[in-house]
Structure 1
């Protein structure tokens, strides 16, 4: 049964074993071979995994001359599969007929496990053990058998927590890379869906996958993504945020140039537009690129509801974007420099409310905005059972107390509250927090120069966004530069039977996604 357990002649490798053990870290060697002696291999592995209590060594003793060793990490490898599907059947088959198996292919057929590999190098052995595989060594053999027995120790598929929607699928990505790619395969049943593997992180050896649909994604964009991923040299990759900062076009811009999502349907929709996706093992968030500013204001359910409803909600988002960005600055500018722009009754009401306030409008606004941001951050960090109550009660109690104490005025509390609510209406968190950051420079400019300061700040922001790119795609693509057929899915969402073509900003080929005449005839 076990050609793997048959002893070979002693080679020079065994004679050099003492020198190998003297190395500070044998696992760094690129050409370290597997030794015929089982004890030599055992000592070498124990040296590499010294002070690692989770690494298990399970010896196999068939008879006096036939010995084996299984090495795996407890908690990552499925010990039940190792015992039931590998060791028991292997030993039972040998005892029944010792000469049954004469080569590796027959040995593989007698192991009830879907994935079996053979290797002669310790480099691959160490790598596979750290990824959750079990490795079988045999005394007298210079090859090891790698058994894919990785155990699913991570959480199962559940509803996304950061991208809630009223209508749409309830499945969300998980921390398991292969679960995530399978969730995407369930939605895109085509052979053109490609997954290109990368491994990044010297210490973490994190699996990364570049995903795209062949024939839709632009080749030049994909080549650029591959180059940027290949250039990454870092000791660890723990989340997609590492990759995002290392491959984006303009790392100093406050605006995100990549979108992240934990919704498989959102990722599938972007891939069908001609974008690419980057999966990272260990995180449920998937990077999507290239992106535009308009994409950051769209939600998945925009495409599931009828277009009348989608357009109404989309216009609300655009309105609240301006509210979140400009309302505090406009209030500061008008109350400080341009009081004549307001109706007399309104300005008198504001003046009466601010009569006992010791601070100028700018300082008052900064106090309230920073307090609101602190409450929002605290509500995220606190346990869910109390976080929501603390944020609501904190805002009410602190706001009311501040008004009664004469530190801030009641109109300022209203302005800050409206601004906070408006920022929550932006569906993408990384874009919403960029708006919140830009709001503070605009407030300072408004306090210094009034409406002229707001115009100056807005001009700088627009100029910056206009020159911003995401993997060669202009950030305002669709409006600047103008592409008429893309206007059907920017400020408005046209009916599906009108959106015949894909956005040419992403997909440079195969632009047509449906045939004309799909709409129902109106009588």
Structure 2
């Protein structure tokens, strides 16, 4: 549909048009009614199961039919709007295409005889699974609620935490056919205007038939789409989203998606968990250090073992080298093939565990890993040390609190394995250097991706206070580099004794 679709003042023509457009659409309810004391003709259209039925049928329709006085033929819609819509939010719309899009989102349309407009009544009532515990970002301390599939409900969960008139919610629609509602949230006096400008440019740069999840939107908005590393932080937690907004970041919420996209997103963001800010700083700092060490091991351990054991076994102490050699006696495969087989077997177990429902998936991962690992060792297909290395690598990957970021390390692990397989320690070093160069070349909306590990002096070193280690809360008085320079002070004490 192109251009503005006109609405006829003749009710019969509007009825015929709607009947033709929504022919064979069983979920679209089309009702001709007579309302008011003089039984004035109107035509009502709405999506079944997408409306608040109690509001529409009990409050609005009942009031219009039984409580409304005689409707004048001149100015009928204004009379209905002023005297009949007491319990509902309604506006007059003259663009039929826009009105129909609202109807497909759960609003109710009312065509009135003699008027070339249509009443758009806010009657949304989507099926909702309610607020549940976050499944992928489990915490011991802190709130337990998570986002749902309703973008309006999700914005309420965020606004409940930030009761500030400067928290803005800009709603746009993307998807030519899906007409997906997308909410962009930010705090007006904290967000950087260059970030908002670039985000708007990226949003306007693409057109697509439909968007059904924030993951699809993330891929369309990424600048370095070829990189395995995420350039948006995905979260299903309203508290994490609210914290990000207070740091000057932007949150994108898509209808039908229980996750938010946070931007800008740099490497340090993916090591932060909500628990870090609800625990004492010493515990959080130690836990975060473990995550950094684990992420490095998840990437380098298999490749480093192949490079040293296959090409430079003299690096190992003599007793350790003899132990490794003894464990490999009878194994028919080269060391690199051993590692690849076990890594692929574990990835298969992981994928199968995800696809199986509930407790069955976890059981498969534990029992399957034990059985396959033990059987492979007993059959002399792999050596025990390879099973240990693969298991340790998997354990390290699971400690990274952001799944897309952990998946990037899992993928790059195979890149390092292949380089080490053919080039030994030279290939290993080459792989690590190319990864570091790639990460250093990335940026997220103008912010270097390797913050706060590099370029931390941009914000006077304040980003390191919550980047590499979690400092005491009272020491994090300034916001990170995501915020406008003039608004980076976020905490101060009235008493000098408590500074």
> Same fold judged by TM-score > 0.5?
yes
Following the alignment from structure 1 to structure 2, what is the Cα–Cα distance between the partners of residues 157 and 214?
A: 28
Indicate the residue corresponding to 1:292 in structure 2.
266
Query: Superposed, which structure 2 residues align to 1:147-296 within 5 Å?
Result: 147-296=121-270
Indicate the residue corresponding to 2:305 in structure 1.
331
Following the alignment from structure 1 to structure 2, what is the Cα–Cα distance between the partners of residues 41 and 284?
A: 38
Question: Which of 438, 460, 464 is the equivalent residue of 1:487?
Answer: 464
Indicate the residue corresponding to 1:30 in structure 2.
3
Residue aligned with 1:33, SS: coil
Could you tell me whether the CA contact under 8 Å between 2:191 and 2:482 is conserved in 1? no
Could you tell me whether the CA contact under 8 Å between 2:222 and 2:231 is conserved in 1? yes
Could you tell me whether the CA contact under 8 Å between 1:273 and 1:507 is conserved in 2? no
Could you tell me whether the CA contact under 8 Å between 2:302 and 2:339 is conserved in 1? yes
Gaps of 5+ in 1: 1-27
More off after superposition, 408-417 vs 75-84: 75-84
Indicate the residue corresponding to 1:514 in structure 2.
491
| Structure 1 residue 208 displacement after superposition | 1.0
Question: Which of 487, 490, 502 is the equivalent residue of 2:479?
Answer: 502
Could you tell me whether the CA contact under 8 Å between 2:294 and 2:397 is conserved in 1? yes
TM-score (norm 1): 0.90
Residue aligned with 2:474, SS: coil
Query: Superposed, which structure 2 residues align to 1:317-466 within 5 Å?
Result: 317-466=291-440
Aligned length: 494
Give the direction of change, closer, same or farther, for the CA distance of 1:115–1:300 in structure 2 (3 Å limit): same
More off after superposition, 508-517 vs 345-354: 508-517
| Structure 1 residue 36 displacement after superposition | 2.6
Indicate the residue corresponding to 2:53 in structure 1.
79
Following the alignment from structure 2 to structure 1, what is the Cα–Cα distance between the partners of residues 360 and 497?
A: 51
TM-score (norm 2): 0.95
Give the direction of change, closer, same or farther, for the CA distance of 1:437–1:506 in structure 2 (3 Å limit): farther
Give the direction of change, closer, same or farther, for the CA distance of 1:316–1:232 in structure 2 (3 Å limit): same
| Structure 1 residue 101 displacement after superposition | 10
Could you tell me whether the CA contact under 8 Å between 2:77 and 2:115 is conserved in 1? no
Following the alignment from structure 1 to structure 2, what is the Cα–Cα distance between the partners of residues 399 and 183?
A: 45
What stretches of structure 1 move > 4 A for 4+ residues in a row?
Answer: 62-65, 96-106, 516-522
For the aligned residues, what is the CA RMSD?
Answer: 2.0
Indicate the residue corresponding to 1:40 in structure 2.
13
Could you tell me whether the CA contact under 8 Å between 1:497 and 1:519 is conserved in 2? no
| Structure 1 residue 218 displacement after superposition | 0.7
Tell me the alpha carbon deviations over residues 213-254 of structure 1, each in whole angstroms, 9 at most, x when there is no partner.
Answer: 111111111111111111221111111122211222211111
Higher-Rg structure is 1
| Structure 1 residue 105 displacement after superposition | 4.7
Could you tell me whether the CA contact under 8 Å between 2:77 and 2:112 is conserved in 1? no
Tell me the alpha carbon deviations over residues 288-314 of structure 1, each in whole angstroms, 9 at most, x when there is no partner.
Answer: 011111111111111111111001101
Query: Superposed, which structure 2 residues align to 1:88-103 within 5 Å?
Result: 88-94=62-68
Indicate the residue corresponding to 2:28 in structure 1.
55
Tell me the alpha carbon deviations over residues 19-41 of structure 1, each in whole angstroms, 9 at most, x when there is no partner.
Answer: xxxxxxxxx14222222332221
Could you tell me whether the CA contact under 8 Å between 2:295 and 2:397 is conserved in 1? yes
Following the alignment from structure 1 to structure 2, what is the Cα–Cα distance between the partners of residues 103 and 181?
A: 36
Following the alignment from structure 2 to structure 1, what is the Cα–Cα distance between the partners of residues 498 and 443?
A: 41
Question: Which of 59, 65, 89 is the equivalent residue of 1:115?
Answer: 89
| Structure 1 residue 67 displacement after superposition | 2.0
Indicate the residue corresponding to 1:9 in structure 2.
none
Following the alignment from structure 1 to structure 2, what is the Cα–Cα distance between the partners of residues 49 and 318?
A: 56
